[in-house]
Structure 1
Amino acid sequence: MAPGYLLVTMHISDPERYKQYLAEAPKSVQAFGGEYLVRGGRHETLEGEWNPHRIAVLRFPSYEKAKAFYDDAQYTQTRQLRQGTTEYFNMVLVEGFEGAIPQNLDARR
């Protein structure tokens, strides 16, 4: 089964209040078998105009587990702690792959 990844970009505008979210979110992530691969840290734009302020990447055992994490009642409550603490918060769920990269990739995807 292919893993699921959450890619998050954000700009924290109220770091003190955001700490409440940071303290609670990992509990929900772990409950669904997720782990943080990136949580802030140094980054730079190498191509294009994308310049997020902060980046997080989370890996889950599957796309479905990642979606279940996001839809979970506990995490829904935890997300409320984040309200009003960021200038923006973008999250994308993407399915990873297992094994070798297929030779006939569909360019439309």
Structure 2
Amino acid sequence: MAAYALFDNIEVSDPDKLAEYASRVRAVVESYGGAYRAVGGQVDVLEGTAMLGYPVLIEFPDLQTAHRWYDSPEYRELKALRQAGSRANAIIFETAPSDLLDA
């Protein structure tokens, strides 16, 4: 089953560090079979009180691959760069079997 890494980027404290991260991260994501599915944009809360700042959604082939990417030596330096230049929440979740998903 596909898995997703969801980042809710709350605050940028160092735009230069975040720009360097952005210029280098895509190649590492793709080397683990990942693909960006959503980056930023307007967020409208329809129910509840949750509010995303600047969401980024990355799809991976499965949960194990998503974790391998996040914990990989290739991403370690980039993760430190992102964390030094911004504040975010991050989760990885797996899709569950459902009749609602396309085959």
Task: Describe the superposition over 1:2-56 as per-residue Cα deviations: whole angstroms up to 9, x where unpaired.
Answer: 0011111012233232101111111111001000101111221111111121101
- Which has the larger helix fraction? 2
- Structure 1 counterpart SS, 2:77: helix
Partner of 1:45: 45
For 1:26 and 1:92, locate their aligned partners in 2 and report how far apart those are by CA, in whole Å.
18
Partner of 1:97: 96
Which letter maps to 1:3?
A: A
Overall identity of the aligned pairs, in %: 26
Partner of 1:5: 4
Give the ranges of 4+ consecutive aligned residues of structure 1 lying more than 4 Å apart after TM superposition.
none
Bigger radius of gyration: 1
Gaps of 5+ in 1: 102-109
Aligned residues: 99
Distance 1:47 1:99, change over 3 A: closer
Q: CA deviation at 1:60?
A: 0.4
Partner of 2:25: 25
Task: Describe the superposition over 1:65-95 as per-residue Cα deviations: whole angstroms up to 9, x where unpaired.
Answer: 1011001101011112113311x21111101
Which letter maps to 1:89?
A: A
- Structure 2 counterpart SS, 1:83: helix
Gaps of 5+ in 2: none
Cα RMSD after superposing both structures: 1.5
Please report the TM-score for the alignment, with normalisation by the length of structure 1.
0.82
Please report the TM-score for the alignment, with normalisation by the length of structure 2.
0.86
